[in-house]
Amino acid sequence: MSSIKERVFVTAATGNIGTGVVRGLVKQGIDTTAYVRDEQKVKDLFKKELTTGHLKLVVGSYSSIDVFTKAIKGHTRLFLLVAAHGLKPWSMSQIKGALGRIAFEQGVRQIVDLSSAFVSSYGKKGIIGYVHTAAEEKLWALADENPEQRSLVVLRPGAFMTNHFRGDIHTIKHQNKIASCASPSSKSTWIDTKDISDCAAVVLSESVEKHDRNVYELGGETLTEEQRAAVFSKVLGKSIKYEQQSMEDFYKASISHGLPHSFVYHFALMASKDICDNPTPEIALIIGRPLRTLKDWVNENVKAFQ
């Protein structure tokens, strides 16, 4: 880091990625502020980090703008992640635009934004592509208002391996199968959220100039649906089959579970097109190790699937 006293502000600090970012920064002795909704949850999550003197907590949400404005003062970097769940299609760009503007105006020099590989591969096609593309556009425009002072780095990850905890975990555990409407040979590129956190922590701890205006796509491993099922079979030591549902059955079942049309339509769209065009082994140049495979991830989480 530079001679300026750096202080990093981390939003969504209790999430999959935010937790790893906080731990990665505190481990390097970097003063870090975790922006959280539930103080008690954080005290359990960051027991060790809180003893170091490098971690401070601020309780607030995306909508508590006054809290954010006061708290961001004195910080030089911002990790910006907005959870898409339950938001209106236009909310993510509004929230990121508002928090990003306040952060830059209060003296933050670098924002590291968590976006999605959909922005590269789909643009605004599909609702997830739309929300992230619209949010990125706001942030790029903000950075370009004062390019000398404002740096932006965008991370665009592929499909999270943690998505297996949402739906697939139930069919893997109880029916020995993974079911979706994609063809068995359809490919997806998966990423371990640890790799995303590590990449963010490196960018937030190195010089602002080094990473300025880079877009880092992150894809660990591209697998067909059949290969994905085979990874689970191998690690769990039992046969997990891939079952292709009709698009109509997939749509009806997802809607009956309460998912909104736009998301289900988007997932149907993904059945024939990968989120990330290719894996991105070049990320090893930043994080200093190869990206993790799905086998690594299932091995680490094996108990949850038994």
What residues line the site for ligand NAP (CB under 6 A)? 12-18, 37-38, 61-62, 81-84, 114, 116, 157, 159-160, 163
Residue 15 or 208 having the CB closest to ligand NAP: 15
Residue 18 or 220 having the CB closest to ligand NAP: 18
Residue 100 or 157 having the CB closest to ligand NAP: 157
> Using an 8 Å Cβ cutoff, are 152 and 295 in contact?
no
CA distances from 3 to 73, 80, 194, 205, 207 (A): 19, 24, 28, 12, 10
Q: Shortest approach of ligand NAP to residue 24 CB, angstroms?
A: 14
Q: Shortest approach of ligand NAP to residue 109 CB, angstroms?
A: 23
- Looking at beta carbons, which residue is closest to ligand NAP? 15
Q: Shortest approach of ligand NAP to residue 2 CB, angstroms?
A: 28
Report which of 193, 194, 220 is spatially closest to residue 294, judged by C-alpha positions: 220
Q: Shortest approach of ligand NAP to residue 184 CB, angstroms?
A: 21
Amino acid at 138: K
Helix or strand (DSSP H, E) at 130? helix 127-145
14-38 residues labelled b (16+ CB within 10 A) or e (exposed): bbbbbbbbbbbbbeeebbbbbbbee
CA dist 141 and 138 (Å) reads 5
Residue 81 or 179 having the CB closest to ligand NAP: 81
Residue 57, token pair as written in the block: 């907590």
Report helix, strand or coil for 27. helix
Q: Shortest approach of ligand NAP to residue 218 CB, angstroms?
A: 9
Residue 118 or 208 having the CB closest to ligand NAP: 118
Residue 208 or 291 having the CB closest to ligand NAP: 291
CA dist 103 and 80 (Å) reads 10
> Using an 8 Å Cβ cutoff, are 65 and 102 in contact?
yes
Q: Shortest approach of ligand NAP to residue 166 CB, angstroms?
A: 8
CA dist 272 and 277 (Å) reads 12
